[in-house]
Amino acid sequence: MAGYIQRVLSHEEQISYEARISLWSLLPQILIGIVLLPFLGLGLIFLAAAFIKYISTELAITNKRVIAKFGFIRRRTIEINLRKVESIQVDQGIMGRICGYGSLLVSGAGNPQAPIPDISNPLGFRQAFVETQEAQVA
């Protein structure tokens, strides 16, 4: 079964970079799930929620736009044309710097700022965006 991003690609649109949310950002939820597992399986709720968040989040840069999809039952998407993106800001706390994850804030012309939280290798995502955007200008 194709993911959301594969299904919404337009004609001649190709993925140039795909990203995932970081498992490190889910660590507190996973640890709580493990600790609560002996208590009537209460921990399964936390573990299942972490798993669903991980598999239901899709992030990509294509040759035409930046796409982010969050959610399993309730879906939230961010899709901004490459030419409309003015900046991508990276926000990393101490743990994010150590473990290699952080949040992105995508600012577009005429669009409100779109936050993309807890992404693995946010600097790599930003670099891939810049390279893709420069390739479209050339």
**pLDDT value, residue 26:** 95
Query: In this structure, are residues 120 and 20 in contact, taking their beta carbons and an 8 Å threshold?
Result: yes
The number of domains in the chain is 1
> pLDDT (tens digit, 9 = 90+) per residue, 81-113?
888 888 899 999 999 999 999 999 988 877 678
Q: What Cα–Cα distance (Å) separates residue 87 from each residue in 73, 106, 129, 130?
A: 30, 6, 10, 9
Beta-carbon count within 10 A of 121 CB: 15
> pLDDT (tens digit, 9 = 90+) per residue, 27-73?
999 999 999 998 878 899 999 999 999 999 999 999 999 999 999 88
Asked if the structure places residue 90 within a domain, the reply is: yes
User: Residue 87 contacts by C-beta under 8 Å, 6 or more apart in sequence?
Assistant: 106, 107
Asked if the structure places residue 52 within a domain, the reply is: no
Report the alpha-carbon distance of residue 61 to residue 64 in Å, rounded: 8
Report the alpha-carbon distance of residue 101 to residue 91 in Å, rounded: 9
CATH code, domain carrying 62: 2.30.29.30
Q: Which domain holds residue 15?
A: 4-21+57-137
pTM, entire model: 0.84
Asked if the structure places residue 51 within a domain, the reply is: no
